[in-house]
Amino acid sequence: GTTGTPKGALTSHHNLINNAAMIGRYCNINSQSITLLATQFCHMSGIIGGIVMSLLKGQKTVIASPVYDSIKVLEAIIKEKCTNLITIPPLCADMIEKSKLHNLRPTTLEVVTYGGAPCSEQLAMDLKETFNIKSLVQVYGMTEMVGDHLEVKVVDREGLIVPMGTPGELWVRGYSIMLEYWNDEEKTQEFMQHNRWARTGDQFVLQEDGYGCIVGRIKDCIIRLGDKIFSSEIEEFFTQHLDVIEAQAFGVPDPKVGEEICVYLRLREGAVLTEDYIRNYCKDKLPEYRIPRYIRFTKEFPRTAVGKVTKYKLLEELKKELAI
């Protein structure tokens, strides 16, 4: 996990088969498809969205090695004439950069499906333009649950439904929810509320027209002088900059304001930005209270086996640097 120790989510055969079938439908997979899986097979995305889904649909499946090597992935897509790609947003960003540097331009890709992290609007546009993609599919889900035909509600801290347009925690109920956490009754009860409503831990806004928006993890909400600042909003702002491939924002404990904002930036190859430049860049574009106090640059982010950034490791690194 990105915020704690791993847990064993016990799922049923019914869960797995239905989830695999739904993923295949979302990705427009059929027996003529050729899908490259750039994901880990110790994770639901690789097992269900990859192996089981491929068996159900009878498609050809391609696996590059190493899995997250963008050049190897591009070469495999070109060689095998892949029509579909299932991966994570950070690899998509690397693929765009490496395709230009090494003149690797796949022409057969039709659908790119990504999950595990949000994909910025800029990255989605760049991905579609660079590889002439017909369809981009952002997957939302977790090992504990996924799929459609589910009940959802958005609630406050007391579990009461909030008005439309108001942020709250997304709760989900339905047939594809896991059974329990293996040998962990306490964690199961934390996750599964009364009448089997499952807590996602995600801040969500549901609009009158039925569409909704994930604004961040509840644990990723930075509270500075009483103002709630969602990390995802800060990250989205920085990824609009042409030299920024990836941004990760989080709160740093501060005795005066509660939490200060820190942002780590991963830049495009050859790009050079400074802390002073970033602060000046923010001045006319962000309210003062949203400008990060701490700005750091990194070549790589610490990640889980499935490519998710482990923000708590970044926080530990910064705390050690600041001696707090």
CATH fold group of domain 151-210: Luciferase; domain 3 (2.30.38)
The CATH code belonging to domain 9-138 is 3.40.50.980
Nearest alpha carbon to residue 165 among 207, 204, 128, 199: 207
Q: Contact, 67 vs 74, CB < 8 A?
A: no
Helices in 52-203 by DSSP H: which ranges?
53-57, 70-80, 89-101, 121-131, 185-191
pLDDT of residue 121: 86
How far apart CA 207 and CA 163 sit, in angstroms, is 9
Strands of the chain, DSSP E: 9-10, 34-37, 60-62, 84-87, 111-114, 135-138, 151-155, 168-173, 180-181, 198-206, 212-217, 221-224, 227-230, 244-254, 258-267, 294-297
Structure tokens of 162?
A: 């909030």
Q: Report which of 242, 237, 232 is spatially closest to residue 97, judged by C-alpha positions.
A: 242
Tokens of 54: 């491929």
For residues 249 and 235, the answer to whether their CB atoms sit within 8 Å is: yes
Q: Sign of the C-alpha dihedral, residues 32, 33, 36, 42?
A: negative
Cα 44 from Cα 292, distance rounded (Å): 35
Residue carrying the six token digits 């929810």: 177
Supply the pTM of this predicted model.
0.78
- Those residues of the chain that have pLDDT short of 70 are 1-5, 146
For residue 1, the model assigns a pLDDT of 53
> In CATH terms, is domain 218-322 a member of 3.30.70.2190?
no
Using the Cα atoms of residue 257, residue 258, residue 260 and residue 261 in order, give the sign of their dihedral. negative
Residue-level pLDDT at 65: 87
Q: Do the Cβ atoms of 215 and 233 come closer than 8 Å?
A: yes
* Residue corresponding to tokens 């896991």: 178
Q: What is the pLDDT of residue 130?
A: 96
Give me the DSSP letters along 96-134.
HHHHHHTT---S---EEEE-SS---HHHHHHHHHHHT-S
- Give the torsion sign (CA, 237, 315, 301, 311): negative
Find how far residue 45's CA is from the centre of its chain: 12
Could you state, in order of their start, the residue ranges of all structural domains in the chain? 9-138, 151-210, 218-322
Strand-strand pairing, 258-267 and 294-297:
parallel
